[in-house]
Amino acid sequence: MTPPIELRTFHSAEPARQGLLDVYADVRADLLHLPNYAVTAFAERLDRHSKEPGWVAILAYEQGEPIGYAYANTVEAEDRWWKRVTPAPPAEYTDRPAVALKEIGVRIPWRGTGIARHIHDALLADRSEPYVTLMVNPLAGNGKVHRLYESWGYEDIGQSQPSPASPVLTAMVRPTR
């Protein structure tokens, strides 16, 4: 019998911070040598993102151990999130606040079990924004991660390079519900 998965919601980063850092380090273990993926770079992004409007995180636990996470915040039309997307996204996505899924990850033993989708859906369950957007490295998992998001209903709307150290990412969007 599989132990139950517990989802915990956090509206401030501090109580979730160590769990987020621990899972991130496992999820990105093969990339941590790259500046953009270093745990310190993630921690800086987490600290910045957690101060933005509408920030929320979900951590999944099995027997008290964090196994996966996601976090998001609200982005407005003038947010740097949208300004870095080329071509400029259609106004239908930017004329109202949207949810920006900034990070999602699941430790290897739990991948392919539906935990990521469960975390994703829980993160969006109480959101009032009409659209959710994310950015994905199209090369991640040899394209597997991008295809997973497509299977969840996301569509490509452009490209973005959030920082010089970041790879060029594919910007995606879908309705929140």
Question: Domains of the chain by range and CATH?
Answer: 5-175 (3.40.630.30)
Confidence of residue 141 (pLDDT cuts 50, 70, 90): confident
**What predicted TM-score, i.e. pTM, was given to this entire model?**
0.94
82: amino acid identity, one letter: W
175 upstream amide cis, omega within 30 of 0: no
In this prediction, residue 165 has a pLDDT band, given cuts at 50, 70 and 90, of confident
Per-residue confidence (pLDDT) for residue 164, from 0 to 100: 86
3 pLDDT exceeds 80? no
- CA dist 135 to 4, 63, 102, Å? 30, 31, 8
CB-CB contact of 147 with 155 (8 Å): no
